Amino acid sequence: MGFTTDLLTGVAQLLDTETDAVWDPYGVYGVDQIGIVLGIPTQSPDSLIALAAYGNIDDPALADSTVQVQVRLRGPDADPRPADDLADAVFDALQGKHGVMFGPVRLVYARRSSTFPLGIDGNGRQERSDNYNLAVHRPSPHRD
């Protein structure tokens, strides 16, 4: 796998372990499960965490990078509390996490940078977005 896929898969596995959400790399979830997907949110299950990398800050010489990750959260209905509770569980699992390996990717530290309510989707489910900066060690051919 590539760096971004390794990183997002590692976050998904962490959330599977430390929250009530479930990571299945094939995206198969029961209707009552809280699924974790990479990229664009799927229509099911109703409760969902979608992880996407959307921006990087990379040192030109050192292997220091910061990857911005959107954690998009969706509750099962229009009530905002389940999505907020899910966001709180993600915060508890990720905020301040440091020194762990996500496959070959070393997480230096994680920090939430913003939250934003997204409102109700076309199926009547409350959504919000929490964004995290993940400082990582990312060596490459021209960086130490």
pLDDT for the residue numbered 139? 85
pTM over 0.75: yes
Q: Is residue 144 in a domain? A: no
Determine the structural domain holding residue 131 and report its residue range. 3-137
pLDDT at 103: 87
**Per-residue tokens: 105:** 């990717």
Q: What CA–CA distance (Å, rounded) separates 27 from 51?
A: 13
Mean pLDDT of the chain: 95
pLDDT band at residue 49, thresholds of 50, 70 and 90?
very high
Segment 50-105, tens digit of pLDDT: 999 998 888 888 889 999 999 999 999 999 999 999 999 999 999 999 999 998 99
Q: Which amino acid is at 134?
A: L
> pLDDT at residue 144 above 80?
no
Is 143 inside any structural domain?
Answer: no
pLDDT of the residue at 57: 87
SS (H, E, C) the chain: CCHHHHHHHHHHHHHHHHCCEEECCCCCCCCCCEEEEECCCCCCCCCEEEEEEEEEEECCCCCEEEEEEEEEEECCCCCHHHHHHHHHHHHHHHCCCCCEEECCEEEEEEEEEEEEEEEECCCCCEEEEEEEEEEEECCECCEC
Is position 11 within any domain?
A: yes
Identify the CATH number of the domain in which residue 9 sits: 3.30.2000.30
Structure tokens at 21: 């959400």
For the chain, the domain total comes to 1
Q: CA 5 to CA 13: how far, in whole Å?
A: 12
pLDDT at position 58: 85
Q: Is there a domain that residue 142 lies in?
A: no
